[in-house]
Structure 1
Amino acid sequence: MTKYYFLLFLFLLAGESFAQNNLDSLVQIRGFAIAAPRPDGLPDFIKFVNEELAPRKVNTLILRVDYNYRFESHPELRDSVTLSKKDVRKLVDACKKQGIAIIPQINLLGHQSWAEKTENLLKVYPDFDETPWVKMPAKGEYKWPNPDGLYCKSYCPLHPGVHKVVFELVDEIMEAFEAKAFHAGMDEVFYLGEDKCPRCAGRDKAVLFANEVQKIRDHLAMKNQELWIWGDRLIDGRTTGIGLWAASYNHTYPAIDLIPRDVIICDWQYTRDNQTAVYFAMKGLRVVTCSWNRPEIALQQVDSHVRSRDLSNKELKGRFYGLAHTVWSGPTPFLKGYYANTQDPKDGDKTPWNTFKVMFEKIGKLETGH
């Protein structure tokens, strides 16, 4: 009998291991993306990591750090309140304990402003601005569309001083977060290769975009680190009908054939499952499909991910790399809505927190085959 129970124990242990390995083989990346917490919100965020992310087997945390870190290389670029090395260490230790890899993000190229606010890089180094003639509106006066086509500012990728600054920031947070991958953002780049720019005028926008991806990727590769970016600028918005936000209208999309094949694409298609993950995979790129605030779309994306892997040959299968949930706020409002299960005044349960719960409940069921 003792031998019987021992064999049963081994069988159950192997079964548990197989279930985990099976989930890993189906959804290699199980991600969660959000802004990094401020210091006063760190304890609550670590609690969320331990009690909510880990039980759902989230294994990748994409943190939008930007200037929310006490940079030593460029203290002039710090936010007024920032995470210290000690704060980051607490978060890194918590994630290590739970088997969660942190991927820090600083928005590079685009998203150098938002509404009426100029972000720190162009505020401190205005000569990096791709469109210095476009003036920021007064507070409360930003509107879209507008005569200048202003959504977010970009830095000029050909400015001779910009990469020294941004790469020093990248290197510093990569070391602080002990990260093996970096997320450069690079989404919704509307300003690039502008006619009035003395460096970029007349240049192919796709080549400019691809060269910037290559430059960032090569910098990271010197330390055996990976580059992750959002995928919208690599999709033809007109031909696909996806539009100018989740795809490109300014001819950056041919860059998909110019960028290195080891760049990881985070494919955000929030209002419908556009099957763009198949496009990226067919181009030889690993793709992580991203949800936001539409639970029904997130469920379709989980189904599409599993189906695509099932239907793919061995070359394609591994390129359907995983699924991630994205949150476009700081942790504090998200956690408030999450724990209170707050409804949206207009859309009811179409919230980032409910979408996260629904999506990862379905991912969890893949492990048991339900």
Structure 2
Amino acid sequence: MIRSLFVLLTIGITQGMVLPVLPITTDSTTEIRGFCIAAPEPSEHERFLTFIEKELVPRNVNMLILRVDFNYQFESHPELRDSSALSKEQIRKIVSICKTNNINLIPQINLLGHQSWASKTTNLLRVYPQFDETPNVKMPEKYVWPNADGLYCKSYCPLHPDVHKVVFSLVDEIMDVFEAKDFHAGLDEVFYIGEDSCPRCKGKNKAILFANEVAEIRDHLAGKDRKLWIWGDRLLDGKETGLGMWEASENNTYPAVDMIPKDVMICDWHYVRSEPTAAYLSMKGFNVITCVWNKPQIALSQYEDYKTYKAKVNPKLAGRYQGMMQTIWSGAGSFLNAMDNAKTDTSKKDGQVECFTQLFEAINK
């Protein structure tokens, strides 16, 4: 890709260059009040529609990210479908209710990283093992962390000549059925990249590899007037900041922050404390969303910091603080069950539910 070549030519010469910023889909006058959750199982579909109508709409949520991955009956690559997957008609009902209520619906498929979980290789590498960045690392019968292979989640090789033909077919298809203008590619917690076991990536700069993959995805989407969203952890220096290897990078991908296009939306997640990284990313030229999870007091602190940043900085930077997003990391059905339990028995505390209710109560004051 042209932009990938551009990245290679400019690394070390013009790392501070600001690339052209394209407008994001969300109206710049409307702060994002977002919610991110796994797409529901087909059996939970109707219940999830009710959740959108009865819980998200009254809280004025205006953006919904659904982590789809392989939970859709793909026609381009039916071999990659989950055994039980949402139908086109079910997705269209979600699209319809979101349109009716002015919710920007965004699909997510994990690209690059998160191609396995625990002891299970997920669909892409299971069906196409030739895409594996680390074929020498075998999935354990019983997963433990830490482990000798440094295995958290597998990655696909970004330099494999056939991988983008497959994943971009999935991206195009899911974007069409979602009728979406924004796509979330994940790209978080990428531990395997530029590995010596990969004949294509061995010895290559990890930041350039990561930046090129972001640019490759971004350019593909831009060809259809669509925008890329990613998680922001790989753009942060985990060692110098003390953020560590999960919320930031300790495998040297972080210089990519100065290489990727500035019109990529960055979802800046921190779940243990309120870190000032949204300020850092905004000063690098990116639009940023502050993301919270399951600790209500931390989430409220993050919201207060977000408001402070937005109110006190100059207008150019203020415009880059795009809003807040609640993330849910259990299945949709589990979260809906926890919501129901909290309504019937107030003694049953669930961090995700409490964070959800308290954050949006604060936002809507």
Provide the TM-score with structure 1 as the length reference. Answer: 0.89
The one-letter code matched in structure 1 to 2:359 is: M
Q: Which residue of 2 aligns with 1:200?
A: 201
The 3-state SS of whatever aligns with 2:46 is: helix
- Contact 1:27–1:323 (8 Å) recurs in 2: no
Structure 1 residue 339, shift from structure 2 partner: 1.9
Q: Which residue of 2 aligns with 1:10?
A: none
Identity %: 61
Q: Which runs of 5+ in 1 are unaligned?
A: 1-23, 366-370
Q: Which residue of 1 aligns with 2:352?
A: 352
Q: Which residue of 2 aligns with 1:88?
A: 91
The 3-state SS of whatever aligns with 1:244 is: helix
The one-letter code matched in structure 1 to 2:228 is: L
Cα gap change, 1:26 to 1:363, in 2 (>3 Å): farther
The 3-state SS of whatever aligns with 1:321 is: strand
Question: What's the CA shift string for 1:209-250, capped at 9, x where partnerless?
Answer: 000000000000011111000000000001110110011100
Structure 2 counterparts to residues 141-160 of structure 1, below 5 A: 141-160=142-161
Mark the structure with the bigger radius of gyration.
1
- Contact 1:41–1:332 (8 Å) recurs in 2: yes
Query: 13, 38, 44: which one pairs with 1:41?
Result: 44
Question: What's the CA shift string for 1:294-325, capped at 9, x where partnerless?
Answer: 00011011111111011111110111011000
The one-letter code matched in structure 1 to 2:364 is: G
Q: Which runs of 5+ in 2 are unaligned?
A: 1-26
Cα gap change, 1:257 to 1:102, in 2 (>3 Å): same
Structure 1 residue 353, shift from structure 2 partner: 1.0
- Across the aligned residues of Structure 1 and Structure 2, the Cα RMSD in angstroms comes to 1.5
- 2: CA distance, partners of 1:339 / 1:25: 35
- 2: CA distance, partners of 1:358 / 1:230: 23
The one-letter code matched in structure 1 to 2:42 is: P
- 2: CA distance, partners of 1:287 / 1:178: 23
Structure 2 counterparts to residues 52-201 of structure 1, below 5 A: 52-138=55-141, 141-201=142-202
Question: What's the CA shift string for 1:239-289, capped at 9, x where partnerless?
Answer: 110110011100000000000000000011000001111011010000000
Q: Structure 1 residue runs of 4+, over 6 Å off?
A: 24-27
The one-letter code matched in structure 2 to 1:353 is: V
Structure 1 residue 348, shift from structure 2 partner: 7.7
Q: Aligned residues, how many?
A: 337
Higher RCO by CA contacts (8 Å cutoff, separation 6 or greater)? 2
- 1: CA distance, partners of 2:192 / 2:154: 7
- 2: CA distance, partners of 1:150 / 1:30: 34
Question: What's the CA shift string for 1:90-121, capped at 9, x where partnerless?
Answer: 11111111111110000000000000010000
Q: Which residue of 1 aligns with 2:316?
A: 315
Q: Which residue of 2 aligns with 1:284?
A: 285
The one-letter code matched in structure 2 to 1:305 is: Y
- 1: CA distance, partners of 2:241 / 2:151: 24
- Contact 1:288–1:320 (8 Å) recurs in 2: yes
The one-letter code matched in structure 2 to 1:125 is: Y
Provide the TM-score with structure 2 as the length reference. Answer: 0.90
Structure 1 residue 208, shift from structure 2 partner: 0.3
- 1: CA distance, partners of 2:360 / 2:298: 13
Question: What's the CA shift string for 1:307-356, capped at 9, x where partnerless?
Answer: 1011111110111011000001221100111121189xxx9846111101
Q: Which residue of 2 aligns with 1:32?
A: 35
Q: Which residue of 2 aligns with 1:368?
A: none
Structure 2 counterparts to residues 255-266 of structure 1, below 5 A: 255-266=256-267
